[in-house]
Amino acid sequence: MDTRFNAAQRKLRLELRDYFKSIMTPEVVAEVVGKEGGPRFREIIRKLGEDGILTLGWPKEYGGKEYTTVEQLILFEEAWSAHTPFPLITINTVGPAIMKFGTDEQKDFFLPKIAAGQCIFAVGYTEAGSGTDLASLKMPAVLDGDEYVVNGNKLFTSSGQDCDYVWLAVRTEKEVKRPSDGISIMIVDATDPGFSFAPINTVGDIETSMTYYENVRIPKDRVVGGINRGWKVITSQLNHERVTLASMTVVGAKQFRRVVKLLDEKSQAGDGPLTDPLVRAKVGELYCRLEAIEVLNLRTATQIEEGKLDVALASGVKFQNTLELIEVLRGLLDLVGEDALVAYPSEGAIFDGDLERDYRSAQVNTVGGGVMEVMRCMVASFGLEMPNTIA
Amino acid sequence: MDFNFSEEQQSIVDAAERVFADLCDDDTIKNIGESDVPLHKELWAQLADSGMLGLVVDEEHGGLGMTLVELCLLFELQGKYLAPVPMIATLVECGLVISGSDNVTLKADLLPQVVSGELLLSPVRASNGVLDTAGLAAAGNDDLVLNGVSGVVPYASVAGGYVVTATEDDGHAVIVYCPQGASGLSVTEQRMSSGELAGKLHFENCAVPAAQVVARGASAAALAERQKQDTFVALAALQVGVLDEGLRRTAEYVSQRKQFGRPLGAFQAVSQQAANAYMAIESLRGAYWRALDDIEHGNDAALSTRVAKFWVGEAGHKAAHTILHLHGGIGQDVDYPAHRYFLWGKHNERYIGTPDDMALDVGKLIAADATRVLNAGTAA
């Protein structure tokens, strides 16, 4: 049993923390926080690309450093904690999918651009009628000569407002045994005149978009993984996405340290909040919750590294992480008191509104990246051999 | 990182599992539970014969000299089979404390009897309930006199002796050994909600000769803290066994039992609850492994063992109620085994500290030295 970070991993975390801190000055943070695009966002991502940071987890043959899963988790956690613009989906979903399913031409064209921070992908999966049940998606792609023609709308297209390409899931076959059989993945050029978007403002300030496709033309060689074989491309990247999602819960640990530091400073003088048993018990409880999340995430990351991911655990960690994070942030708001919900840029906003914003955005993962109820059904069927109640 | 028990560690308990499986079928456990002395004597004897009671006793005293890690795998089995034996009390709460003592005569006297299974031991601490809050006081220079009450002493009436943690006049802890039948000590038998045998101990000018002192002063405080940490982890192992098996049986039940023409488990309302219980148990398992890792590698385990005990309660409460509820009406019937997983889950939740107690303890440790959490993930 060995559940803790080793010396090299702790050192790596400190180095990455220093690196991100040097880039993410308070002014820069204020400019980009919550953004998924814009000039400053792009500038930082190009800088990360130049410094080789984006591809630390990639295989060496694609210019990466082959970070282990735990090292990647540390990387994403530190990037996330510092509010660094980091094209997680492009790096951790699209890139690996192209490596696995792409043609040589696709690899040669896209991977160096992604690595250099010069190419950002939006992901167009969700439709108005297909969210929780993604495999039911309907947007058709119709072959016309050497190109597919796409018409329709996508909802919650992450990075849709400032992307170079859209990683688009479309229906290429209606008459299929299972709905997931007729799906294909295609790469849309965002400069296509038929592509447009409209921003969707969200509760957690996370930018996302509605995207529109009007006779958008996609050359045949921009299909990834073959026609009607898109579902495999989508699901094969779930492992990578688990790590991405796990890293997001680091905001709980980060805000916990901040609040404890604040309480501790106020208590140094003597009769401060940390002398109150109620405050101590709440601090203790939150620590207990955070430690359990940390071990679950490290255990999952280690399973991924060993190629032995337990589907039940991975699905369960998704919702457990989310619910515990919400609970921890709630407790931290309690500890901070009545000004906890003063919003940035109001003068009284604590930690420049960071805690208030994190609390607001933490809830999105009850839905985003796999709806909680679906994850629970998977836990019951894979982990407890109960009937499959999803489909 | 490594989130596995080693093959060697696992192999130790593989043999033990056969012993539990042979001797702890549902009917046997039910019958023992209904008997006057709910103690599985045959199992205890078999565990002694196979060397399991000496797992963590050093070789000098007839044991196998292994660590708490191997022992915890044994507690997981005990939980799985709901075996009514004072294994944690005898081996961890008392045995390891005696092993940690400088009193070589006492060790030489008691430890071989633990290994052979002749001597059941039980830990005694001052009551912290609202009924008996007077504490356990020890007075004297070399020989000591004990006064006070302890409310929940596991298997007290069948134990051959007690490891008693008391407080001296100057506020320091002292740990002594007190045999059953000592003058000034009386035992009132009690039964816990889980059916476990327990006792209320009254010490009234109970004389303890210096030869029976396990530890005094700073070493007693350190040993008492170590006793707590080891017990928290042991209870986490036990609870993992109880809840894993309880939930496995629950899933099996709802997958077979049909209502409205389909298995109950085919209702999402049911699968959602089972999944919540599953992840509560996985949270416990992670906290348990982290604490065990710290103990195994000699790290400071003050925080992680308390986190583990917090989750013993948190997961225990959530999963125990789910186990019972999803069994429907039959779960309420005490002729059917489901209720025992519920009662054990709740017993473990509370024994030597509730989640609130643990949270407060952790909060105190953080208040005393905030740097231990402020540097998390970066400091050695």
| Whether residue B337 has a cis bond before it, omega within 30° of 0 | no
Closest partner residue to B279 (CB to CB) among A260, A267, A320 is A320
Q: Rounded distance, CA B380 to CA B362, Å?
A: 19
Q: Rounded distance, CA A379 to CA A381, Å?
A: 6
Q: What letter represents residue A149's amino acid?
A: V
Between B379 and A365, name the one with better pLDDT. Answer: A365
Q: What letter represents residue B24's amino acid?
A: C
Which DSSP category does B7 fall into?
Answer: H
Average pLDDT of the residues of chain A: 93
Contact list, A267 vs chain B (CB under 8 Å) = 367
Q: Rounded distance, CA A384 to CA A387, Å?
A: 9
Q: What letter represents residue A356's amino acid?
A: E
Q: What letter represents residue A49's amino acid?
A: G
If we measure between CA atoms, which residue out of B105, B102, B78, B101 comes closest to residue B89?
B78
Instruction: Please give the pLDDT value at position A377.
Output: 96
Instruction: Please give the pLDDT value at position A206.
Output: 83
Angle, CA B289 vertex, CA B218 and CA A244 arms, to 5°: 130
Instruction: Please give the pLDDT value at position B301.
Output: 97
Q: Rounded distance, CA B140 to CA B209, Å?
A: 10
Average pLDDT of the residues in B295-313: 97
Q: What is the pLDDT of residues B62-120, one digit of tens each?
A: 999 999 999 999 999 999 999 999 999 999 999 999 999 999 999 999 999 999 999 99
Q: Which two tokens stand for residue A368?
A: 């985003």
CA atoms within 13 A on the CB side of A196: 5
* Closest residue in chain B to residue A303, using alpha carbons only: B3
Q: Which two tokens stand for residue A50?
A: 């130049």
Contact list, A256 vs chain B (CB under 8 Å) = 373
Q: Is the per-residue pLDDT at B380 higher than 60? A: no
Q: Rounded distance, CA B75 to CA A361, Å?
A: 41
Q: What is the pLDDT of residues A290-320, one digit of tens each?
A: 999 999 999 999 999 999 989 999 999 999 9
Instruction: Please give the pLDDT value at position B12.
Output: 86
Instruction: Please give the pLDDT value at position A107.
Output: 98
Q: Rounded distance, CA A127 to CA A112, Å?
A: 30
Residues 6+ apart with CB under 8 A from B35: none
Q: How many CB atoms lie within 10 A of CB B191?
A: 11
Q: What is the pLDDT of residues B172-191, one digit of tens each?
A: 999 999 999 999 999 999 99
Whether residues A389 and B267 touch (CB distance < 8 A) is answered with yes
- Asked if residues B25 and B89 have their Cβ atoms less than 8 Å apart, the reply is no
Average pLDDT of the residues of chain B: 96
Contact list, A300 vs chain B (CB under 8 Å) = none
pTM: 0.96
Whether residues A253 and B283 touch (CB distance < 8 A) is answered with no
**B122 — pLDDT class (breaks 50, 70, 90):** very high
Q: Rounded distance, CA A119 to CA A99, Å?
A: 16
Task: Find how far residue B198's CA is from the centre of its chain.
Answer: 13
Q: What is the pLDDT of residues B234-247, one digit of tens each?
A: 999 999 999 999 99
Q: Is the per-residue pLDDT at A271 higher than 90? A: no
Q: Is the per-residue pLDDT at B263 higher than 60? A: yes
**A383 — pLDDT class (breaks 50, 70, 90):** very high
- Asked if residues A324 and A248 have their Cβ atoms less than 8 Å apart, the reply is no
Instruction: Please give the pLDDT value at position A185.
Output: 98
% of chain A at pLDDT higher than 90: 81
Q: Best residue in A6, A315, A386 to probe B by mutation, most B CBs within 10 Å? A: A386
Q: Rounded distance, CA B119 to CA B161, Å?
A: 8
Instruction: Please give the pLDDT value at position B234.
Output: 98
Instruction: Please give the pLDDT value at position B363.
Output: 97
Whether residues B279 and A281 touch (CB distance < 8 A) is answered with no
Q: Rounded distance, CA A227 to CA B125, Å?
A: 70
Closest CA–CA distance from residue A105 to any residue of chain B (Å)? 38
Closest CA–CA distance from residue A269 to any residue of chain B (Å)? 13
Q: What letter represents residue A80's amino acid?
A: W
Contact list, B247 vs chain A (CB under 8 Å) = 384
Whether residues A284 and B254 touch (CB distance < 8 A) is answered with no
Q: How many CB atoms lie within 10 A of CB A145?
A: 9
Q: Which two tokens stand for residue B67?
A: 């660590």
**A268 — pLDDT class (breaks 50, 70, 90):** confident
Which three-class secondary structure state does DSSP give residue A187? strand
Tell me which of A29-33, A124-128, A294-298, B29-33 is least confident: A29-33
Q: How many CB pairs under 8 A join A and B?
A: 206
Q: What is the pLDDT of residues A76-104, one digit of tens each?
A: 999 988 999 999 899 999 999 999 999 99
Closest partner residue to A288 (CB to CB) among B263, B310, B367 is B310
User: 3-state SS of chain B: helix, strand, coil percent to 5?
Assistant: 60, 15, 25
Q: Is the per-residue pLDDT at A62 higher than 80? A: yes
**What are the catalytic residues of A?**
241
**B129 — pLDDT class (breaks 50, 70, 90):** confident
Q: Strands A195-200 and B121-124: what pairing? A: unpaired
Q: Best residue in A295, A305, A315 to probe B by mutation, most B CBs within 10 Å? A: A295
Residue with structure tokens 């709905």? A179
Instruction: Please give the pLDDT value at position A390.
Output: 86
Q: Is the per-residue pLDDT at B333 higher than 80? A: yes
Q: Strands A165-171 and B173-179: what pairing? A: unpaired
Q: Rounded distance, CA B198 to CA B191, Å?
A: 6
**B356 — pLDDT class (breaks 50, 70, 90):** very high
Task: Find how far residue A81's CA is from the centre of its chain.
Answer: 13
Which DSSP category does B264 fall into?
Answer: G
% of chain B at pLDDT higher than 90: 93
CA atoms within 13 A on the CB side of A337: 7
Q: What are phi and psi of B166, to 5 degrees?
A: -130, 175
Average pLDDT of the residues in A344-356: 91
Whether residues B282 and A320 touch (CB distance < 8 A) is answered with yes
Contact list, B271 vs chain A (CB under 8 Å) = 376-377, 379-381, 386-387, 389
Q: What is the pLDDT of residues A102-158, one digit of tens each?
A: 999 999 999 999 999 999 999 999 999 998 899 999 999 999 999 999 999 999 998
If we measure between CA atoms, which residue out of B246, B310, B240 comes closest to residue B282?
B240
- A157 DSSP β-pair partners: A209
Whether residues A70 and B355 touch (CB distance < 8 A) is answered with no
Number of helices and strands (H, E) in chain B?
14, 10
Whether residues B367 and A375 touch (CB distance < 8 A) is answered with no
- Asked if residues B94 and B87 have their Cβ atoms less than 8 Å apart, the reply is no
Q: What is the pLDDT of residues A65-75, one digit of tens each?
A: 999 999 999 99
**A33 — pLDDT class (breaks 50, 70, 90):** confident
Whether residues A17 and B378 touch (CB distance < 8 A) is answered with yes
Whether residues A291 and B304 touch (CB distance < 8 A) is answered with yes
* Closest residue in chain B to residue A260, using alpha carbons only: B370
Q: Rounded distance, CA B184 to CA B90, Å?
A: 23
Q: How far apart are the first and last CA of chain A?
A: 38
Instruction: Please give the pLDDT value at position A345.
Output: 87
Closest CA–CA distance from residue B212 to any residue of chain A (Å)? 37
Which three-class secondary structure state does DSSP give residue B1? coil
Closest CA–CA distance from residue A4 to any residue of chain B (Å)? 7
Average pLDDT of the residues in A234-248: 82
Q: What is the pLDDT of residues B192-224, one digit of tens each?
A: 999 999 999 999 999 999 999 999 999 999 999
Q: Which two tokens stand for residue B117?
A: 């299974």
